[in-house]
Amino acid sequence: MPSSVMPTSVTPSGQVPSAAISAAGLRKSYGDKLVLDGIDLHIPSGSVFALLGPNGAGKTTVVKILSTLIRADDGQARVAGHDVATSAQAVRAAIGVTGQFSAVDGLITGEENMLLMTELHHLSKREGRQVAAELLERFDLRTAAKKPAATYSGGMRRRLDIAMTLVGSPRIIFLDEPTTGLDPRSRHAMWGMIRELVAGGATVFLTTQYLDEADELADRIAVLSNGKIVAEGTSDELKRRIPGGHVRLRFTDPAAYRSAAATLRDITADEEALALRIPSDGSQRELRSILDWLDAADIEADEFTVHTPDLDDVFFALTSANVPAQTEETAR
Amino acid sequence: MSTFALALRDSNTMLRRNLLHMRRYPSMTLNLLLTPVLLLLLFVYIFGDTMSAGAGGAGRSDYIAYLVPGILLMTIGSTTIGTAVSASMDMTEGIIARFRTMAIHRGSVLVGHVAGSVVQCMLSVALVGAVGVAIGFRAADATALEWLAAFGLLTLFSLALTWIAVGMGLVSPNAEAASNNAMPLIFLPLISSAFVQVDSMPGWFQPIAEYQPFTPAIETLRGLLLGTEIGHNGWLAAAWAIGLTALGYRWSKTVFARDPA
């Protein structure tokens, strides 16, 4: 559900509560390398926000700063109404973080990991055991609970990781690339879990390099490239910004491909795939005129497909100007 | 909850985490005992005759009495190398990042390591001490108070070396580096009065051997258990222990407070 239609609760003082997460002008460099170059964020409570970007764009650095793990060089950020720099402990009490690298203690069992968390949240022994058992059950880890976490598969470790993050019912949850390295089934299971969290009222801050993941889960998406947010909006808003729709013609005969490529104008050619792209908005009228045009030119493609713009197009259009090779490679 | 109660509770949780690691992987503790035990047996049974002559003793049992207090302190040094390694390994684990983003007492992670390691040191000392007794070490004349003081000295020294070792572990990027950085903890006992008397060493070296942390502690322990002269070594040992604890504590805390890479 888009956050904008959710009723906003009002505090006793009559003020509308501030955003779950907000940031202004965050900067961070490591040595000479500028990693974040002025990040502004405004994330309403109860929404899912996806920070999308290729490897090295600075996604993890944003999460680290917002979750009080590291300090920004410049700029301000507030999480759950507290300044991350001056009230770090108050921020920590409100958040749950699942980092990119699994944050479980591999030397002890899954259950012991969970109990460690309940103790650090100062739950009573009884309550702790109950919370641990519930979460282990919910994340399908009951049978593996007594085994050392180091023996878990990647998907199990991720699940344990998130289960540990949920102890103490954090209002704001950071998930740094939660599905990287997971097989498709675990990935879909993870999406289901994230939706459940949001249904329970939590705000989720997600980073991902997968466009479909952002499309699937997020209310709002920001595209991060070279330390800057280059676009922000809903999935539809972003898609609308890019004229990525096209018709794709594929040939099996290289000679037919070459003659078509020579005849047609305003096209993008992909010689390797023997394919041509003709820009199109996908409307019936335009398709008909393209077909007529092809008939008139006596071009017969072996395959004719219509593509509407997707987040891939947006992503490449926004980020490829700077690092084309890397983007191409990592975003697939 | 008050800050102090929070600190205590979280430190206790972290201590139990470290003790759990030890219980699950006893081989880590036992491997560290190999060096002191082997050196004890080597120096008693292989080099024994020459060494006892050098130590001014008459026979093997005298040399065992001379050697065991030094070996006990060496056991602490050896065990704390494990502390440096496990602290450094722990810091590379994702769970530490998780702890840093939780509303817990910040120092509890370190206190857990230190307290766990002190327990480990004392267990190791007991085990190596048992080996000493098995091969003939006796401290029959020591009073209950002297035993208590000996126990206190060993604990305090464990605490001091552990804080230093945790600092060494925190500044080491990986387990190998931590093990190398912590070498002095096992090397210093070799150039102390643990194996031979300081008098028998070259003149220029004697001040180094005499005033480094291990010699005063060894001499104090000998005095408490065997009734030899302690002299100024008691104060020196206490000063070293307190000084190293304070230094290691400040160092570890400063390093841990830095932003992780």
- SS3 of A22, please? strand
pLDDT attached to residue B152: 96
CB B223 within 8 A of CB B230: yes
At A41-73, the pLDDT tens digits run: 999 999 999 999 888 889 999 999 999 999 999
- The H-or-E segment that residue A188 falls in is helix A184-199
Mean pLDDT calculated for residue range A178-188? 84
Chain A interface includes B25 (CB < 8 A): yes
- The H-or-E segment that residue A120 falls in is helix A110-120
| Nearest CB partner across the interface for B101, out of A97, A104, A108 | A97
CB B41 within 8 A of CB B136: no
Region class of A27: left (phi > 0), else alpha (psi between -120 and 50), else beta: beta
Which of the residue ranges A90-94, A242-246, B237-241 would you say has the lowest mean pLDDT?
A242-246
Architecture in CATH of A3-9+21-104+152-240: 3-Layer(aba) Sandwich (3.40)
ipTM of the complex as predicted = 0.87
Chain A interface includes B1 (CB < 8 A): yes
Calculate the CA dihedral of residues A176, A180, A186, A188 and round it to 10 degrees.
Answer: 70
* Domain boundary assignment for chain A: 3-9+21-104+152-240, 245-308
Supply angle C-alpha B177, B182, B186, rounded to 5: 135
pLDDT bin (cut points 50, 70, 90) of residue B59 is confident
Domain A245-308 has CATH 3.40.50: no
For residue A10, pLDDT beyond 70: no
**Chain B residues inside the 8 Å CB shell of A69:** 97, 100-101, 259-260
The CA distance from A23 to A75, in Å, is: 7
Task: For the sheet with A21-30, list strands across it.
Answer: A33-43, A21-30, A74-79, A82-83
Residue B184 CB partners (closer than 8 Å, separation 6+): none
Q: Which residues pair with A30 in a beta bridge?
A: A33
Q: How far is B116 from chain A (nearest CA, A)?
A: 15
For residue A9, pLDDT beyond 70: no
Q: Which of B201, B153, B200 is nearest to B56 (CA)?
A: B200
**Chain A residues inside the 8 Å CB shell of B85:** none
pLDDT attached to residue B118: 96
Its domain, for residue B212, covers 3-257
Domain count, chain B: 1
Q: Do B103 and A89 touch (CB under 8 A)?
A: yes
- SS3 of B120, please? helix
Q: How far is A222 from chain B (nearest CA, A)?
A: 24
Q: Do A103 and B260 touch (CB under 8 A)?
A: no
pLDDT bin (cut points 50, 70, 90) of residue A172 is very high
Structure tokens at B26: 């006893």
Q: Which B residues 95-134 touch A at CB under 8 Å?
A: 95, 97-104
CB B16 within 8 A of CB B10: no
At B67-118, the pLDDT tens digits run: 999 999 999 999 999 999 999 998 888 889 899 999 999 899 999 999 999 9
Chain A interface includes B180 (CB < 8 A): no
At B172-211, the pLDDT tens digits run: 999 999 999 999 999 999 999 888 888 888 999 999 999 9
**Chain B residues inside the 8 Å CB shell of A108:** 17, 20-21, 24
- C-alpha A208: how far from chain center: 3
Q: Do A99 and B21 touch (CB under 8 A)?
A: no
Measure Cα distances from B36 to B40, B70, B131 in Å: 6, 10, 10
The CA distance from B122 to B116, in Å, is: 10
